[in-house]
Chains A and B, each alone.
Chain A
Amino acid sequence: MNSKSRNKLIAAPYTIWMVGFIIIPLIFVVYYGLTNDKNVFTLDNVISFFNPIHFRSFLKAFKLAFISTLICIILAYPIALIFRNSKTKKSSFIVYIFILPMWMNGLLRIYAWLTLIEKKGVINLILTYLKLPNINIVNTETAIILGMVYDFLPFMILPLYNSLMKINDDTLNGARDLGANELQVFTRVIFPLSIPGMVSGITMVFIPSLTTVAISFMLGGGLYLLIGNVIEQEFLTTSNWHLGSGLSLVLIIFIFVVMGITNKWTDKDEDSIII
């Protein structure tokens, strides 16, 4: 047996997985998306993405995903920087604490949020005890954004941390040596070198935020239909698989475009992300 055919054999389970769970479903989505209930080819489903009802929910999802990605960057950057600079043995332990929630079921995490922020939730209990005015953010956009940030923050911290860890200490010393003060070291060396990590962080936060179903449903109380919820409804409530698939198709293409753009900045060897 030559090495080529042996490689094929070893790859077989993966190939079967790819075909069975990625390619075939995708073919179904394309098929349903481009036909109507009489199985005749049509572009109506795709075009109806730009129908104001659907497009508005897409824009809303885009806005919330954008804001939560931005908040994730703002929160994750200092955390990643602190991790990088604390060169102790403990730092990898602290990193694990931050990614620990990722190992928990996503729905469970959202329920945890709910118990914190709901009207008679933990936060309001404490506020009442301290005789402070209660917050009322459940079923608002703020709650959805908070949920997204909480859910996806580790996906921003990790790639950022990875790219910051790759910077050699002497590269920074070199910048100081050449006259750069600490701010200039950051803007001219640290920040540009962290862009690949930030970009993969953005893809990993923005895309799941854009397509989320559970977070908007549970923390938004069904008041905020995001594009993910619209698609879900077409499949589960209205049973219009053709429309749901059509909307999905446009969303997939949009995501491909986003990833194509961001790929320009990603490191080719940015594969060291631990999940």
Chain B
Amino acid sequence: MENKLIDLVNITKYFDGEMVIDDLNLSIKENSFVTLLGPSGCGKTTTLRMIGGFLIPDKGQVFFDGKDITHLPPEKRQLNTVFQKYALFPHMNVADNIAFGLKIKKKSKSYIDDKIKYALKLVNLEGYEKRDINALSGGQQQRIAIARAIVNEPKLLLLDEPLGALDLKLRQEMQYELIRLKNELGITFIYVTHDQEEALTMSDTIVVMNQGYIQQMGTPEQIYNEPENAFVATFIGDSNIVDGIMIDDYVVEIVGKKFKCVDAGFGKNKPVDIVIRPEDVIIVEPNDEKAILHGRMTHVIFKGEMYEMLCVTDDGKEWLVHSTSLHEPGKEVGIYVAPENIQIMNKPTSEDEAAIDPIDDEAEE
């Protein structure tokens, strides 16, 4: 088992009397790529800033490598941050920006020069030493910001929506760059984003947050395939969320029809929430023996890699369907879902959980 590098214990934070983080506990293992994912205002940036030392929690403790750093100022922490708007020093050239931390630590000139060369090579900007910061593009500035952070050999790199200001193509490029950097440097990354695709692409652990709570923590596969509640399911990708009743172990009733599933232990005749991903809704011929529900196709949108379609079943429920094969609107169809693709979730019980609206206003920005 790897070491816990960061341990947040019972963290609570207020802004102007309003609670933004409520009793948060989070452990981050050494050498992992952890993404804090959530809509704006969910507390992800606040959490990152408390790890970075720019905010002090009102309650709780922050541990770094086993040491309590809750009240340690940022300059004394063995970690570095890459900010959303790069936050480079506009009065210095590229080399001076990268050298800033090393000069503060009074490293020798030859050591600093070597480090600058090494860092620029790592971010693919060799020969840029004397360039003016303001003459660089957004993507280049972000690379310099990363270079400026990593020359200090931090154990932990915090990244606060670093790709937020870049255009889509560049963003995708930089995602692969970051994964490569992470593997080459062998340090821990904590990454904050509201972009679920970014989170799924890069992380080995995703922490989904909403309204100051952690909704779910797990690998991208776990988060996507086994969302723990309706918020996570809606925030990560598209999904069909329906009410159901757990009749018995391995049998669930959805819109009056019995489906086989792989979950057990919910009890008998218990109301549950059910998530079915659109790509798991299989369209078959209406007379196919596998067909459990029957309906009619209503809309089709061509999305490039697949068709996005809507199917209205006899009971009036709309199903979102993703498939590479086209089913024309008006066509009578049958619907089949494999047991392993039916994800059963408990209905929210406490008031706090009920307050979690499945909103994804920013998710697809």
Residues of A within 8 A of B (CB): 168, 170-171, 173-181, 184, 188-189, 192-193
Please tell me if B85 contacts chain A, counting CB pairs below 8 Å.
yes
Q: Could you tell me the distance in whole angstroms from the C-beta of B62 to the nearest C-beta in chain A?
A: 15
Q: Could you tell me the distance in whole angstroms from the C-beta of A82 to the nearest C-beta in chain B?
A: 21
Choose one: A173, A174, A192; the contact of B88 (CB below 8 Å).
Answer: A174
Contact A180:B83 (CB < 8 A) given known A174-B88, A175-B89, A189-B89: no
Chain A residue numbers with a CB within 8 Å of B84 are 170
Near A by CB (< 8 A), chain B positions 302-343 give none
Taking a contact as CB atoms under 8 Å apart, the answer to whether A170 and B91 are in contact is no
Assembled-state Cα–Cα distance A170/B75 (Å):
14
Assembled-state Cα–Cα distance A181/B83 (Å):
19
- Which of B73, B85, B87 has the most chain A CB atoms closer than 10 A to its own CB? B87
Q: Could you tell me the distance in whole angstroms from the C-beta of B163 to the nearest C-beta in chain A?
A: 16
Choose one: B75, B80, B85, B91; the contact of A192 (CB below 8 Å).
Answer: B91
Interface contacts (Cβ under 8 Å), in number, total 62
Taking a contact as CB atoms under 8 Å apart, the answer to whether B89 and A173 are in contact is no
Chain B residue numbers with a CB within 8 Å of A179 are 75, 101, 104-105, 152
Interface size on B, residues (CB 8 A): 24
The 3 A-B residue pairs with the shortest CB-CB distance, nearest first, are A178-B101, A170-B87, A174-B87
Chain B residue numbers with a CB within 8 Å of A192 are 91
Taking a contact as CB atoms under 8 Å apart, the answer to whether B91 and A177 are in contact is no
Please tell me if B74 contacts chain A, counting CB pairs below 8 Å.
yes
Assembled-state Cα–Cα distance A171/B145 (Å):
11
Near A by CB (< 8 A), chain B positions 17-63 give 52-54
Q: Could you tell me the distance in whole angstroms from the C-beta of B94 to the nearest C-beta in chain A?
A: 15
Q: Could you tell me the distance in whole angstroms from the C-beta of A122 to the nearest C-beta in chain B?
A: 43
Please tell me if B81 contacts chain A, counting CB pairs below 8 Å.
yes
Known: A170-B87, A189-B91. 18 other contacts (CB 8 A): A168-B85, A168-B87, A173-B83, A173-B87, A174-B89, A175-B89, A176-B53, A176-B54, A176-B73, A176-B74, A177-B52, A177-B74, A178-B104, A179-B75, A179-B101, A179-B104, A179-B105, A179-B152
Chain A residue numbers with a CB within 8 Å of B101 are 178-179
Taking a contact as CB atoms under 8 Å apart, the answer to whether A178 and B80 are in contact is yes
Taking a contact as CB atoms under 8 Å apart, the answer to whether B91 and A176 are in contact is no
Taking a contact as CB atoms under 8 Å apart, the answer to whether A184 and B81 are in contact is no
Taking a contact as CB atoms under 8 Å apart, the answer to whether A193 and B90 are in contact is yes
Q: List 25 A-B contacts (CB under 8 A).
A: A168-B85, A168-B87, A170-B85, A171-B87, A171-B88, A173-B52, A173-B54, A173-B87, A175-B100, A176-B53, A176-B54, A176-B73, A176-B74, A177-B74, A177-B80, A177-B149, A178-B80, A178-B101, A178-B149, A178-B152, A179-B105, A180-B104, A181-B73, A181-B75, A193-B90
Taking a contact as CB atoms under 8 Å apart, the answer to whether B83 and A174 are in contact is yes
Assembled-state Cα–Cα distance A177/B72 (Å):
12
Assembled-state Cα–Cα distance A174/B152 (Å):
13
Taking a contact as CB atoms under 8 Å apart, the answer to whether B83 and A170 are in contact is yes
Assembled-state Cα–Cα distance A173/B84 (Å):
12
Please tell me if B148 contacts chain A, counting CB pairs below 8 Å.
yes
Chain B residue numbers with a CB within 8 Å of A173 are 52, 54, 74, 81, 83, 87
Q: Could you tell me the distance in whole angstroms from the C-beta of B71 to the nearest C-beta in chain A?
A: 14
Taking a contact as CB atoms under 8 Å apart, the answer to whether A180 and B85 are in contact is no
Assembled-state Cα–Cα distance A184/B148 (Å):
17
Assembled-state Cα–Cα distance A194/B108 (Å):
29
Choose one: A168, A171, A177, A188; the contact of B75 (CB below 8 Å).
Answer: A177
Q: Could you tell me the distance in whole angstroms from the C-beta of A168 to the nearest C-beta in chain B?
A: 6
Assembled-state Cα–Cα distance A208/B148 (Å):
44
- B148 nearest CB neighbor, chain A only: A178
Chain B residue numbers with a CB within 8 Å of A177 are 52-53, 74-75, 80-81, 149
Chain A residue numbers with a CB within 8 Å of B88 are 171, 174
Assembled-state Cα–Cα distance A177/B85 (Å):
15
- B83 nearest CB neighbor, chain A only: A170
Assembled-state Cα–Cα distance A245/B285 (Å):
102
Contact A171:B80 (CB < 8 A) given known A176-B74, A178-B104, A180-B104: no
Chain A residue numbers with a CB within 8 Å of B83 are 170, 173-174
Near A by CB (< 8 A), chain B positions 211-251 give none
Assembled-state Cα–Cα distance A170/B81 (Å):
10
- A189 nearest CB neighbor, chain B only: B89
Q: Could you tell me the distance in whole angstroms from the C-beta of A265 to the nearest C-beta in chain B?
A: 11
Assembled-state Cα–Cα distance A180/B105 (Å):
9
Assembled-state Cα–Cα distance A192/B90 (Å):
10
- A193 nearest CB neighbor, chain B only: B91
- Provide the B79-119 mask, 1 if CB < 8 A to any CB of A, else 0: 01101110111110000000011001100000000000000
